[in-house]
Amino acid sequence: MCRDVVWPCCNPGKTGRLVGMDCPEQKNVIRSATLADANGIFELIKAHPEALISRPLSDIVESIDRFMVAERDGELVGCASWHILPEIGLPERSSVEIRSVAIQQGLRGSGLGTALVKAILERVRPLRPVQAIVLTFAPKFFARMGFREVPKTQIMHKIYMGCVNCTKHANPFTCPEIAMALELKP
């Protein structure tokens, strides 16, 4: 039977704890990604074409320090990343976007996705962003962690920097992804 466990914080040299799921029959690990994980991350994202924007392998390698991964019994089964969205003229008002949350098909609902998002939130809190944002087809998943739906007009930096280059939708305001935000208090 699975039970909640506490993992050490995923930031080397930082204190903190992260609650996740542990099953005696499987060993789950949430950790920072390494360069050796890049191909596995690429394949995980590619396996979700209906829900995720594909990312070139070179982009994954360039931002590998902003990826967290989930392993089960030593196999890479999930990933998520983060990206800073600067606020021009007010860097202390910047947001963090959570991106590329992908869990191996048979493991959805296992708690690994939640553990990855919580690990990212734990990782970025010391940077003191004002909020975490997502564009998602899974609003219920993020709502369980406290994210609330917001109008896309409230995340214009994301729209301008990312959505204008989208290969799936011509207009970011007609894209069916839901914009959500979580206020991050220091």
For the residues 26-34, what does the mean pLDDT come to? Answer: 90
pLDDT value of residue 41: 98
Compute the distance between CA of residue 16 and CA of residue 7 in angstroms, rounded to an integer. Answer: 9
Binning pLDDT at 50, 70 and 90, where does residue 25 land? Answer: low
pLDDT value of residue 52: 85
Binning pLDDT at 50, 70 and 90, where does residue 154 land? Answer: confident
CA torsion through residues 139, 140, 144, 150, sign: positive
pLDDT value of residue 94: 87
Tell me which amino acid residue 161 is.
M
H or E stretch covering 113: helix 112-124
The pTM is what?
0.80
pLDDT value of residue 87: 78
CA torsion through residues 56, 58, 59, 64, sign: positive
Q: Is the pLDDT confidence value at 70 over 80?
A: yes
Q: Is pLDDT larger for residue 60 or for residue 7?
A: 60
Compute the distance between CA of residue 92 and CA of residue 69 in angstroms, rounded to an integer. Answer: 28
pLDDT value of residue 85: 87
CA angle, corner 37, sides to 54 and 118, nearest 5? 75
On whether the CB atoms of residues 115 and 21 are closer than 8 A, the answer is yes
Query: Which of 14-18, 83-87, 132-136, 137-141 is predicted least confidently?
Result: 14-18
Query: Which of 41-45, 81-85, 117-121, 154-158 is predicted least confidently?
Result: 154-158
For the residues 4-15, what does the mean pLDDT come to? Answer: 37
Q: Is pLDDT larger for residue 23 or for residue 36?
A: 36
CATH superfamily of 3-183: Gcn5-related N-acetyltransferase (GNAT) (3.40.630.30)
Distance of alpha carbon 136 from the chain centroid: 11
**In the chain, domain spans:** 3-183
Phi–psi pair at 117, nearest 5 degrees: -65, -40
For the residues 107-112, what does the mean pLDDT come to? Answer: 91
Compute the distance between CA of residue 116 and CA of residue 136 in angstroms, rounded to an integer. Answer: 15
Q: Is the pLDDT confidence value at 186 over 70?
A: no
